[in-house]
Structure 1
Amino acid sequence: MGKVSTFLMFQGGQAEEAINFYTSLIRDSAISSISRYGKGESGDEGTVMKAMFSLKGQEFMCIDSNVSHQFNFTPSFSIYIDCDTEQEIRYLYENLAKDGQLLMPLDDYGFSQQFGWVQDRFGVSWQMDLPKE
């Protein structure tokens, strides 16, 4: 067996915009590779055939689906981030929530100092936690 990767499938040509957004928000993150559909290939020319990126060392793979699906991301699958400071959790929460959906407002729910859960504008869900010291 090779490695196991988290795979994100975007629709509407949003993959590159999403990974640029994510890697700009989270320190120590990078886009490793992007291959695009060319003219006459099975996807829209210039959209992402396959991209690899990492967020704080966690690797992800993504594509722009060339097939329209009746499904998208669901909040039951989310990316979970342990934050180091209140400033960091607020920054991530505010930026990821912009033009998205609030699932749990940033607050103290008793199990951590601060916790928030959002679905970003691309449909990907994020849980952010500032653990108790």
Structure 2
Amino acid sequence: MKGQLTPYLSFDGNAKQALEFYKDVLGAEITGVQTFGEADYPTPPEAEDRIMHAKLTKGDISLMFSDTFPGQSVVVGNNISLTLEPESEEEIQHLYDALCKGGKPLMELEDTFWGAKYGRVQDSFGIIWELNYQKS
């Protein structure tokens, strides 16, 4: 796997404010922001300005941010997931299958419009994992 585990923080429409807040608190740099409206994804008008994905970095530390899609809710305490970046299709499949045992898939492992294979799983302990294998 590449890098370290990366915390992924979810918000209910205020990810931009949280991103700016943590940038100032940590003295970090915003290294990427994409809204739902900028993505090649069917998006209702009320979600166009919501953050689909943003990244904050300082040295070896990375945090990822996202707003929920309209109709989804954020539950404080369950609004943090962990992201792994496997280095092969075989590795992401193994992780996905292993984490699904006793847990549940939240998003099936599939190819995405951002050029990755991605899946989201809640394991048997309630931890949410985001698996992202970026293809060449």
TM-score range, shorter chain: 0.3 to 0.5
Higher strand residue share? 2
Structure 1 or 2, whichever has the larger Rg, is 1
The structure with the greater share of residues assigned to helix is 2
TM-score (structure 1 length as normaliser): 0.46
